[in-house]
Amino acid sequence: AMLRQNGINDVRVISTPGQLTDHYDHTNKTVDLSESVYAMNNVAAAAVAAHEVGHAVQHQQAYAWLNFRSKMVPAVQFSSNLLNYIMIASLLGVGLMGNMTFLWIWIGLFAVTTLFAFVTLRVEFDASRRALVWMEQSGIASSIEHDRAKNALFWAAMTYTAAAIGSLAQLLYFIMMAMGRRDE
């Protein structure tokens, strides 16, 4: 219903195996809902489905933060892959992290993934906001159920928040480590 109300007729809602596998796939134009969300008829499942449809609405409306995040994906993939190689080399005793140049390369690559985490926060919070507005306007949930849906989406968003804060803390740690080595 949320897709139709936003004039989106080319996105399919499908069931996908697993738990916590809910996502919007812009390449296939599908809202993939985990089996449990797809099969359930309760406010929590409706909230999750509406959140994922919120991403489809963002895509249709060319939401700037979603576009920015999409454009970041190649840089994030490159950075993540290179970070893995540097970490493996360091674990094998090559000692790259002892070299200031590699430490600053690490920091630069890690900064890309940290920025991505914060951009993702903006996209996820907006999708939840869109879901809650639609649920309220459509009357799909009573006020008590709406509060439960809001609570469920809030705590789901907190996982992204924790990841972004953790990434920022780790980035700051590496920056302080590099700055401290400069003083030595």
Which positions are annotated as active-site residues?
52
User: Encoding tokens for residue 169?
Assistant: 């803390």
Residues 6+ apart with CB under 8 A from 10: 29
State whether the Cα torsion 68-155-1-139 is positive or negative.
negative
- Helix (H) / strand (E) element for 12: namely strand 12-16
User: What is the spatial distance between Cα 165 and Cα 170, in angstroms, rounded to a whole number?
Assistant: 9
Within a 10 A sphere around the Cβ of 150, how many other Cβ atoms? 19
With CA atoms as reference, report the closest residue to 135 among 58, 49, 69, 67.
49
